Structure 1
Amino acid sequence: MVLDDGVSGVLVTHTHVGTVDAKIMPQGTAYLTDVGMTKPKDSVIGS
C-alpha cells in the first residue's frame, strides 16, 4: 500500500459488504475497510 509508513491509519466507511480485513501494514500503518457509518445521532438517517 502506497500510504504505508506515511500515515497512522487508513479507515474506510459504509461499504455495504461485510469485511474482515483489519491489519497492521509492514511499516506500521493500521488498515480497516469498514469502520461503520459515522454521522450525527439526530441526522436525517439517524432519527
Structure 2
Amino acid sequence: MGRLFLITLQGRIYSCRHCDTHLGIADDIISKSFHCRHGRAYLFNNV
C-alpha cells in the first residue's frame, strides 16, 4: 500500500469530528461558502 505520513499541525486547525485527525490549518481556507454534492463545505488550499 504505502507508508503512513503524519504531520502535527500548529495553530488554529480543522479536524475530523469523529476521529480528531488534523486536516488543515485555518490560514489555508480559500472559501467557507463552497458547496459540494453533499452540501456545505470549506474549500482549502492545502490539506
Q: TM exceeds 0.5?
A: no
**As a proportion of its length, which structure holds more strand?**
2
**As a proportion of its length, which structure holds more helix?**
2
Which of 1 and 2 has higher RCO (CA within 8 Å, sep 6+)?
1
TM-score in terms of structure 1 length: 0.20
TM-score in terms of structure 2 length: 0.20
